[in-house]
Amino acid sequence: MRTVGLTRSFGEQIAVNGVDLAVPRGAIYGFLGPNGSGKTTTIRVLLGLIAADAGSFELLGQPMPRASARVLPRVGALIEGPAFHPYITGRDNLRRLDASDATANPATSAQRITEALARVGLTAAAGKKYRNYSLGMKQRLGLAAALLQPRDLLILDEPTNGLDPQGTREVRKLIRDLAADGATVLVSSHLLSEIEQVATHVGMMSGGKLLRQGTLHDVLADGVPTIRIDTPDVEAATLAMRRLGLDASAGGPDGPVVARLGSLAAEDVAAALVQAGVRLRGLNVERPDLEDLFVSITGEGFDVLR
């Protein structure tokens, strides 16, 4: 999947501003950002639900929307909470969806529906009416709908919304299994800690712009690690670290002493502290997680709505 300069506005508000996504085949791509950052609008453009104002994009190596008829049957999607008929069962909702798919084989419909329900943990609730489903069950049924046919690309918008911790773990496993079977999976989420456990690649959105993307390893490596020193010699440690050019500060008279490492190696800091006569009880280097990195880039947390 690839976009070049993708842009979409609503009136004077630019929801997606020149976004260049690069999602490799077979990747689990975490599309990250707070609610209102432009993730869902980008996804709606990719799926042809709304048109872009500018830019171009490809799905599965094909130019869109020109190749929609060939490509979209190979794409499964869950967007902004699924909508189903409230007065029929979960299984019957999937039957209706499958019957409306011109590419689906009616002879295998029952088997595929049963397998999709089992894959998302809804076998026991398949006979319940949709209106009696919890939020998490509705989300699971939306995932089942996306899995009715074999898919080369899955686009999942907040797939763990409403799920309990067990359900969230099951969805993580499902995403890994889908990727292991050869599918490319784009997962849009504001839950960075969840994505960090499953993604191979990530892209960070804020205010309609793509701020950073790459492999998870490379993106996390962009974060500046923090060194934390536990010592009874707080003042001496602070002075020694400042002589190294670190902006060291103490958490109190008993420490700890903390500083961002920058390009310095932790072992060089330790050697300088020992040479200065600082007694070390502990030294720990902490790399920022995705949320820490996002906050450091934007200065904002994930409770910000745009």
**How much is the average pLDDT of 171-185?**
91
- Domain ranges across the chain: 2-221, 226-286
Q: pLDDT for 274-292, tens place per residue?
A: 999 999 999 999 888 888 8
CA atoms of 61 and 55, how far apart (whole Å): 16
pTM greater than the 0.75 cutoff = yes
The helix/strand/coil state of 25 is coil
**How much is the average pLDDT of 184-201?**
91
Instruction: Please say whether the structural domain 226-286 has been given the CATH code 2.60.120.1570.
Output: no
> Using only C-alpha atoms, what is the Rg of the chain?
24
**142: which strand partners?**
none
Report the CATH architecture of 2-221: 3-Layer(aba) Sandwich (3.40)
Evaluate if residue 137 carries a pLDDT over 80. Answer: yes
CA atoms of 265 and 262, how far apart (whole Å): 8
Evaluate if residue 102 carries a pLDDT over 80. Answer: yes
Whole-number pLDDT of residue 306: 33
Neighbours of 99 (CB within 10 A): 11
How would you classify residue 51: left for phi > 0, otherwise alpha for psi between -120 and 50, otherwise beta?
beta
Whole-number pLDDT of residue 21: 96
CA nearest neighbour of 21 among 205, 178, 279: 205
- 19, 90, 118 from 106: Cα distances, Å: 40, 18, 19
Q: pLDDT for 241-278, tens place per residue?
A: 999 999 999 988 888 999 988 788 899 999 999 999 99
Split at pLDDT 50, 70, 90, the class of 193 is confident
Encode 186-206: b = buried (16+ Cβ within 10 Å), e = exposed: bbbbbbbebbbebbbbbbbbb
Q: pLDDT for 27-43, tens place per residue?
A: 999 999 888 899 999 99
Whole-number pLDDT of residue 300: 62
Q: Same topology for domains 2-221 and 226-286, yes or no?
A: no
Helix (H) or strand (E) holding 153: strand 153-157
- Asked whether the bond before 256 is cis by omega within 30 degrees of 0, the reply is yes
Split at pLDDT 50, 70, 90, the class of 56 is very high
| Residue 109: Cβ-neighbour burial (10 angstroms; 0-12, 13-18, 19+) | middle
Task: Give the torsion sign (CA, 244, 248, 252, 255).
Answer: negative
Q: What is the DSSP letter of 225?
A: P
Whole-number pLDDT of residue 162: 80
Contact (Cβ atoms closer than 8 angstroms) between residue 126 and residue 144: no
84: tokens are 């189903």
Whole-number pLDDT of residue 302: 52
Percent of the chain with pLDDT over 70: 97
